[in-house]
Amino acid sequence: MDAGQLKSLKRKNKIKESKTDYVYYAISGFILFLLAVIVIYPLYYIVIASISDPDAVMTGDVWLYPIKVTFSGYAQLFNRDDIWRGYFNTLAYTVLGTAFNIVLTIPAGWALSRNYLPFRKVIMPLLIITMFFGGGLVPYVILCRALGLYQNPLILIIGGGVSVYNVFMCKSFFQSNVPQEVLEAGMIDGAGEIRTFFDLVLPVAKSIISVMILFYAVGHWNNYIDAYIFSIDEDFYPLQTVLNGLLDATAGGEGEVVLEQMRAATQIKFTSIIIATLPILVVYPMVEKHFGQGVLVGSFK
């Protein structure tokens, strides 16, 4: 069959689309375009507002493009020592805290996925109960005080070490994606539980591990309230807490001071959003490709 005959055959077998189909495609495309604008425009507005004159932002003149471009807001933030210190603290809390979370969550999910786990039928309901009922903030603070973690930056690393939801997501992933035949082959070769976990399970769990890293890292990166709750020293404040303090410092005032404080608050508000979210926006595309296999298979299959 030559190329001409092949093209002719494809034309004959091609499904003809009706006018209704084209109308449907047009409406769907228009709706998707509107949704894209709704999602993208706020991010775009934050960017142009962060480099625009604060007076133009306050009067509502900035909505499509920046006006009187200025980077004074970024200069003000990056010239502050507490911003750089907060960045370093947040990076340390995020890296160490996420590593601690992964070390606890992944083995827990694997253990619960095994039917022969001792007391599994008792452990599962106890974990599920914690998803619906909690002791509250005050008992949590009392417990941390008793453990010597009050006013201790270590609480920002090990606090909330395990998310039960994430454990169950890992459990479902392992049940769906680790072939029993591979485990049986490992047992025949003499592999014990620990070697099986490290040599056979972890190599096929890269997607769920990547997703867990993103979930936990975003939680650590955005955490700001714990530093207030546990009265952490200001030298150990994470970035989000530092930025929140700056916004509070620009609030209030009397007379002519109010306008200047509002201008400063406007600049700090938008520039701080960019500074705080940029690292996560850079990391997210690297992990997004694992969501289909990690999140969807792990939680819904």
Residue 85 amino acid letter = R
- SS3 label, residue 291: helix
Structural domains of the chain sorted by starting position, each given as residue range(s) with its CATH number in brackets? 18-70 (no CATH), 88-300 (1.10.3720.10)
- SS3 label, residue 254: coil
Q: Report yes or no on whether pTM surpasses 0.85.
A: no
Burial bucket for residue 21 (CB in 10 Å: 0-12, 13-18, 19+): exposed
What is residue 68's predicted lDDT score, i.e. its pLDDT? 84
Residues 269-294: tens digit of each pLDDT: 888 888 888 887 777 777 766 665 55
Low-confidence residues of the chain: pLDDT under 50: 298-301
| Overall size of the chain counted in residues | 301
Q: Are 214 and 284 in contact (CB under 8 A)?
A: yes
Please tell me the distance from the alpha carbon of residue 72 to that of residue 135, in angstroms, as a whole number: 46
What is residue 258's predicted lDDT score, i.e. its pLDDT? 61
What is residue 10's predicted lDDT score, i.e. its pLDDT? 53
Residues 69-84: tens digit of each pLDDT: 888 888 888 888 888 8
What is residue 101's predicted lDDT score, i.e. its pLDDT? 95
Q: Are 243 and 86 in contact (CB under 8 A)?
A: yes
